[in-house]
Amino acid sequence: ALTAALADPVSGQPALKHVAVRIEKFAARAFGFAVMRERPEVIAADYWAVARCKGGWRVELAFADENIDWPDFAQSLFVSPEAELLAYHDRDAGQHRIAAFEGERLAGALFVAPGPVAVSRGWAAEQLETAHAGQRERFRIVAGRAGADRPDIGAIVCSCFGIGANQIAAAVGAGCSTVGAVGEALKAGTNCGSCRAEIRAIIGAGRVQAAE
Ligand code: FES
């Protein structure tokens, strides 16, 4: 932890907001993003942040050194020694992508790049719940993108209905100019309503683009 666990003496609530800290910029030489079905027991990276996602877990990673045995690292994340690995390496460009399959199911996928990884988080998480029977589907994972027949829905904005930012932007482009109109077209924003502010922001961004 960055700070000692101090509690407010009256309320018992964490009182961390006024604690002095010393921070330094971390110079990452490699960045990674991974999805996996099981939560990894150990993550041997200099920086990592793990979170639940549809179908399993997702991890953002950064490394101070790029000279790492990436297939080995991937296997340590996927906790699946029997899985079949499919990999792409471009050492000069610092790009490495590794996917592990157990039968038709994806056990995990790791994407490594010299800068922040440009892979759709929503799409990658979705792959954990998709069957990958053929080589073509498996190569798509290693390519790090959806096929032309499966457009990327973008980051999930409305979790009640699983609607992504790209779907909302497309609806706005097709003429939905209010939160209500987006709701009628996609259902997004019509349940708990916590995504309505974000939908409004996408509509606003669409207006700015249209005016330019
Ligand atoms: S998150 Fe969109 S309606 Fe609940």
User: If DSSP codes are grouped into helix, strand and coil, which group holds residue 14?
Assistant: strand
Q: Is 188 in the pocket of ligand 1 (CB under 6 A)?
A: yes
Query: Is there a single domain that holds both residue 110 and residue 162?
Result: no
Q: Read off the tokens for 46.
A: 């200099």
**CATH number for the domain including 190?**
1.10.10.1100
| Last residue of one domain, picked from the residues 92, 117, 143 | 143
Cα-to-centroid distance, 164 and ligand 1 (Å): 11
pLDDT averaged over 10-residue windows placed end to end, the chain, 212 residues: 70 71 88 94 93 90 94 89 88 93 93 89 87 85 70 79 87 93 94 93 78 60
Cα-to-centroid distance, 196 and ligand 1 (Å): 7
The predicted pLDDT at position 23 comes to: 85
The type of residue at 2 is L
The predicted pLDDT at position 208 comes to: 64
- 148 located within any domain: no
Query: Is there a single domain that holds both residue 130 and residue 186?
Result: no
Q: Is 197 in the pocket of ligand 1 (CB under 6 A)?
A: no
Query: Is there a single domain that holds both residue 78 and residue 169?
Result: no
How far is it, in rounded angstroms, from Cα 154 to Cα 167? Answer: 7
* Alpha-carbon distances, residue 117 vs 60, 85, 95, 193 (angstroms): 9, 20, 9, 31
Q: Is 186 in the pocket of ligand 1 (CB under 6 A)?
A: no
Query: Is there a single domain that holds both residue 128 and residue 61?
Result: yes
Q: What is the CA radius of gyration of the chain?
A: 20
Q: Residue 175 is part of which domain span? A: 156-211
Query: Is there a single domain that holds both residue 122 and residue 38?
Result: yes
Query: Which residue, among 49, 38, 57, 61, has the nearest Cα to 125 in the 3D structure?
Result: 57
| Last residue of one domain, picked from the residues 85, 120, 143 | 143
Query: Is there a single domain that holds both residue 127 and residue 181?
Result: no
How far is it, in rounded angstroms, from Cα 99 to Cα 85? Answer: 6
- 151 located within any domain: no
Of all protein residues, whose CA lies closest to atom 1 belonging to ligand 1? 158
The type of residue at 46 is D
B/e letters for 76-100, b = 16+ CB within 10 Å, e = fewer, are ebbbbeebebbeeeeeeeebbbbbb
The 3-class SS string of 56-87 reads EEEEEEEECCCCCCHHHHHHHHHCCCCCEEEE
User: If DSSP codes are grouped into helix, strand and coil, which group holds residue 165?
Assistant: helix
Cα-to-centroid distance, 182 and ligand 1 (Å): 12
How far is it, in rounded angstroms, from Cα 190 to Cα 158? Answer: 9
| Last residue of one domain, picked from the residues 94, 119, 143 | 143
- 202 located within any domain: yes
- 96 located within any domain: yes
Domain count across the chain: 2
Q: Is 194 in the pocket of ligand 1 (CB under 6 A)?
A: yes
Cα-to-centroid distance, 146 and ligand 1 (Å): 25
Percent helix, strand and coil across the chain, each rounded to 5?
30, 25, 45
Q: Is 195 in the pocket of ligand 1 (CB under 6 A)?
A: yes
